[in-house]
Amino acid sequence: MNDWHNMDCVDREELAELREQKLLNTVKWAYQNSPFYREKFQNNSVTPEEVKELKNITRLPFTTKSDLRESYPFKLAAVPMEQIVRIHASSGTTGKPIVAGYTKNDLVEWSRLVARTCALAGVTSRDTAQVSFGYGLFTGGFGLHYGLEYLEATVVPFSSGNTERQLSLMKDFQTTVLVSTPSFALYMAEAAREMGLDPKKDYSLRLGLFGGEPCSENMRREIENQWGITATVNYGLTEVVGPGVSGECTCQEGMHLHEDSFIEEIIDPATGESLPEGESGELVLTPIFKEGFPVIRYRTGDITRIIPGNCRCGHTTRRMDYITGRTDDMIIVKGVNLFPSQVEEVLSGFKEVSPHYRLVLHRSDKGFVKDVEVQVELTPEGFTDSFQELEKLEQNIKNRIRSTISLAPRVKLMEPKSLERTTGKSRRIVEGEDL
Ligand code: DLL
């Protein structure tokens, strides 16, 4: 293992001391320099002096998405704006975007974190990596770009869109690593075949780094089979930095968290109480390296757990499990809680359907979800002219959903390739009236 792996192999006692020290510095820094945090601490009658050790973090108030919306655009800043050298923002579907500003040092730290994420996934300076994330306010493109460059890989900054050209260059440049959302990787394989190319034989890809949206195990295996690569998943969010929070090693058993740079907590989303290691709840993150826009105890809305025990790979950092849903993605239908990932899990048991699906919500006059339709695409092999067979499959899927989630949504089988493809993040939940 080279230097890139050092920080993920440190002695856990040393790591605990480092984390504590960095947390105390971050809390002081935010209080002294960010008017937003000074006010927040004061409103909650807490001072930085009360945080003497790591476990005291729970005395500090959470930061929520709506806090960050209210601090639009630059109220979170802890340095004069002339020291902010880059701005990113998360688009969000409603309201104002959430803005993140970076100092020069923040950008170096971020590049290092992403470089480590890529190294964990097996990327080296000998690789050529195509970045198919959008370059712009979204953190995916620039984040992966600078991290991969920091690692001294050869970067092809393609950005999103223009799938045919992406595929041509990827072939001609003998690109070895694809960096994109998992749904775009699947779409690219489909498009390559339509161009008469064989994704396994005509390309030199060996690794895929996928993130920005959930990737079920089924989807990962599908990507791996179609491209003949090892597909790893990585995680991050604009509010705390962007990509580079955690990522898988090639064991593919959870995402190693860069613990020297983030303090993680798992809480019960309903009560805010901390949950013990191994239990699933909402992930709360505190980055402990940021100067520009510090964030303390950010409620990510992402549901996961910390995987107990060490990874087989030898890295000592703890692992986050895959994100199983978002607190705001939970649909309540007739009193039953439903996450898209639960439906996806059920669908993955049927070889006749592809990983392309969506949930269409139909609401009552009062805005409650009264009915959900699961639209799922058949694979070309699963497609048949026999109405009876299709009806039987629909019924089987419906029964399986009912027995696992206690809900009987309508199921609609769609023709192969009929659901919208995206070059960015896919939309799994749509409102009936939007169609
Ligand atoms: O998606 C940052 C990123 C870019 C991460 C590229 C990895 C690769 P946002 O646009 O702010 O930032 O969206 C963050 O996306 O809170 C999760 O809900 C979701 N998300 C990101 N990565 C994963 C993942 C980027 N690996 C939001 N699995 C997060 C599941 C993910 N969800």
Taking the CA of residue 425 as reference, the ligand 1 atom at the shortest distance is 1
Q: What is the pLDDT of residues 230-247, one digit of tens each?
A: 999 999 999 999 999 999
Does residue 93 surpass a pLDDT of 60?
no
Residue of 114, 118, 160, 213 with the most ligand 1 atoms within 8 Å of its CB, for mutation: 213
Non-local (6+) Cβ contacts of 242 within 8 A are 88, 100, 110, 114, 139, 140, 142, 143, 236
CA distance 199 to 190: 9
C-alpha distances in Å from residue 312, one per residue of 4, 209, 260, 315: 18, 20, 20, 8
Q: What is the pLDDT of residues 147-206, one digit of tens each?
A: 999 999 999 999 999 999 999 999 999 999 999 999 999 999 999 999 999 999 999 999
Q: Which residue minimizes the CA distance to atom 18 of ligand 1?
A: 302
Does residue 20 surpass a pLDDT of 90?
yes
Tell me, in angstroms, the distance from the centre of ligand 1 to residue 32's CA. 30
Q: What is the DSSP letter of 311?
A: -
Taking the CA of residue 301 as reference, the ligand 1 atom at the shortest distance is 16
Lowest mean pLDDT segment, chosen from 36-45, 221-230, 233-242, 360-369: 360-369
Topology match between the domains 1-326 and 331-431: no
Say if ligand 1 is within 6 A of residue 134 CB: no
Q: What is the pLDDT of residues 109-119, one digit of tens each?
A: 999 999 999 99
Residue of 257, 238, 239 lying closest to 134 (CA atoms): 238
Instruction: Judge: domain 1-326, CATH 3.90.1150.10.
Output: no
Tell me the CATH number for domain 331-431: 3.30.300.30
Whole-model pTM: value is 0.93
Q: What pLDDT, on the 0 to 100 scale, is given for residue 150?
A: 97
Residue with token string 């930095």 = 241
Q: What is the mean pLDDT of residues 373-396?
A: 95
Say if ligand 1 is within 6 A of residue 237 CB: yes
Say if ligand 1 is within 6 A of residue 65 CB: no
Tell me, in angstroms, the distance from the centre of ligand 1 to residue 237's CA. 5
Cite the beta strand spans of 336-435 per DSSP E. 336-338, 353-363, 369-378, 410-414, 429-431
Residue of 233, 323, 341, 423 with the most ligand 1 atoms within 8 Å of its CB, for mutation: 323
Q: What is the mean pLDDT of residues 123-136?
A: 97
Say if ligand 1 is within 6 A of residue 140 CB: yes
Mean model confidence pLDDT for the chain: 95
Taking the CA of residue 323 as reference, the ligand 1 atom at the shortest distance is 30
Domain boundaries, the chain: 1-326, 331-431
